[in-house]
Amino acid sequence: MSEAAHYSVRDGVAVITLNNPPVNGLGHSLRSGIVDGLKKAQADATVKAIVLIGSAKAFSGGADIREFNTPKSGLSPTLPEVNDVQDATQKPIVAAIGGFALGGGLELALGCHYRVALPRTQLGLPEVKLGILPGSGGTQRLPRMVPMADALKMMTTGNPIDADKAKAYGLVDAVVEGDLLEGALGFAKGIIGKPFKRVRDLKPRIDGDVKAFFEQARAQVAKESRGYPAPLKIVECAQAAATLPFDEGRKVERAGIEYLMNTTESKAMRHMFFAERQTTKIPDVPEDTPTRDIGKAAVIGAGTMGGGIAMNFANAGIPVTIVDTTQDALDKGLAKIKANYAATVAKGRLSQADMDKRMALIHPTLNLGQVGDADIVIEAVFERMDVKQDMFRKLDGIVQQGAILATNTSTLDVDQIAAVTQRPEDVIGTHFFSPANVMRLLEVVRAKKTAKDVLATTLKLGKRIKKVPVVSGVGDGFIGNRMIEKYGQQSLFLLDEGCSPQQVDAAIQKWGMAMGPFTMGDMAGLDIGWEIRKRRYKERPDFVYSKVGDRIAELGRFGQKTGKGWYVYEAGNRKPVPDPEVDRIIDAYRKEQGLKTRSISDDEIVERLVYSLVNEGAKILEEGIALRASDIDMVYLTGYGFPPYRGGPMFYADTVGLGKVLDRIETFARGYQGQVWKPAPLLAKLAKEGRKFND
């Protein structure tokens, strides 16, 4: 037996225990151990039944990611071969599921004859989230255990179900309380001597007109999965399960996964999967770096951002003090937090009891002195250097030694903020994205003197509050906002040249972005960008920007919060409505500047917006502001609505080919405001060498 699978016999029941921490990934040694155990049990006349069990926390999370893209992943026995051995075993096999059975883990459980599970266990086939489909019979077996419509929903969304729901479907035979192994042994003894069937021999659970069902299913899935090929392939495989013999259906499934593995969309989503796991790997900060305990937090500022940050701590069970200068500001901030939680309760995603617990962890105060015992203090005051420096001087004299002092600045120099304290090694940037209680991205800005344990603690805390922390060096705008400035710059130039806001937004949304630059600006608040541009005009003589956006902001049109921006908004409705007045403002600006307009294609709009991100991203990478191209991709995938199936701006450029990207940038450099299109040296170098950002 393999060390990854333990074998024992209890009262005529063979017990094969999966032992490949932390999630019992189905690596080669575990697959081999399972096969060896099944064959040993089959050959032992005293064994009457078999229990396959993981731990109470994890049956199996599926494929072992440590073997992805290595020869071991394809070594025999593969998971389909393990399933074949399960099917050939003449003794009943019971899967004892604790914690979760996901992906290949559920396919392993479906290869058993029975399944028992602990309460709250999660069962699912999430392969679609990697742009692929279940590749070891999952598309064929699940519809034989779960009604076809529900099986399709599980596979095309990738969302798991709990043990109670699985029991209602018949996917789980029993939900056991207490000790999982004892419950499974009791169940196994109860079925000894009784006839049993393999899942593959059951009929698919579908009634009525099969052809009509799948026509409707295909139309529905196509509507919901635009840009993603995997969900429709899953429908194709499920239809094969309903209409073909099992082994023929498996051939359709195998062809489907081989096709998907080679699609750009799947490669992009797998890139995203691994990129997320890379963000906390910092070359000079070992994984065993000691971290500081974070038992209490404090947030300075009860506005939209401060309130959202405080919610993150409360959601993670961390008491948080929230400070503001007036009772009115505190009351409004708390009311907004309460409304956010209440909306989640109304949607059924949070219980009232949990809302009450979280609200009880948030302590509002007007007294800055009450943050003195916090282990981390996050400043979320007005985005101006003098204001932030003044706050850090105060915090330096109030907050206990050993606490982390963090700034939520989106563009300012964290070194300058740290310099006003007596403990710059404790200062770090924590740039949350709005709405902070929703957006997954957390830019962690490492200043020159930030201590390694402060960085390690902040990264660990980021994961604890369910963010994707990405490290950035100090630089104007860090990673995300430095790049988005170039994106915004091009969006305004496009207006100068003849586009309307709605044409630009529609083109980039059709390409896959969650929203266009003008809708995004209205949502964020046009006053913020205007304030930053005014600072840029003073600080950077080379700052080239169309001032048409300033004309909009000068009229008090700040976006959704004022009901007017690039679009107009009806009260209580965030849907952007084109405004003829904006067209008149843009036209007047063009005449004032003596600009000639032209017809611009959607393809050019997309290229100029996306390649502006790529070119600036290459400069950020070369300067060492970002550690990896994949970190830049994660910033855009988790903070800026970049479509996952395109893998982030740097990965997307790799798929286009850096030579082609460079060629288009050089073309744009000969056009309107071409001086802003100087190719990044790294882009030019990699293009010349035929290499990629994500090599």
How far does CA 392 lie from the centroid of its chain? 32
Q: Please give the Cα distance from 308 to 605 (Å, whole number).
A: 34
Token pair for 624 = 């060492």
Strands 441-446 and 427-432: antiparallel
Q: Please give the Cα distance from 633 to 72 (Å, whole number).
A: 28
Instruction: Check residue 378 and report its DSSP letter.
Output: E
- CA dist 647 to 255, 314, 504, Å? 24, 32, 22
Which helix H or strand E contains 539, and what residues bound it? helix 526-539
Nearest to 273 by CA among 640, 644, 636: 644
Token pair for 375 = 């282990």
Nearest to 26 by CA among 71, 79, 81, 91: 79
The single residue of 3, 107, 224, 531 carrying the catalytic annotation is 107
Q: Please give the Cα distance from 501 to 489 (Å, whole number).
A: 13
Token pair for 318 = 């961390």
Q: How many CB atoms lie within 10 A of CB 427?
A: 26
Q: Please give the Cα distance from 17 to 26 (Å, whole number).
A: 13
Which helix H or strand E contains 577, and what residues bound it? strand 577-578
182 is an active site residue: no
- CA dist 129 to 134, 151, 434, Å? 11, 16, 24
Cα angle 285-287-293, degrees, rounded to a multiple of 5: 90
The single residue of 67, 81, 127, 248 carrying the catalytic annotation is 127
Query: Is 41 in contact with 47 (CB distance < 8 Å)?
Result: yes
Which helix H or strand E contains 364, and what residues bound it? strand 362-365
Q: How many CB atoms lie within 10 A of CB 350?
A: 16
Token pair for 668 = 């744009």
Q: Please give the Cα distance from 248 to 237 (Å, whole number).
A: 10
As a residue count, the chain comes to 695
Q: In sequence order, which residues have a C-beta less than 8 Å from that of residue 669 and are 6 or more positions away?
A: 675, 677, 678, 679
Q: Please give the Cα distance from 255 to 132 (Å, whole number).
A: 11
- CA-based radius of gyration for the chain: 28
531 is an active site residue: no
Q: Please give the Cα distance from 551 to 554 (Å, whole number).
A: 5
Q: Which residues are catalytic?
A: 107, 127
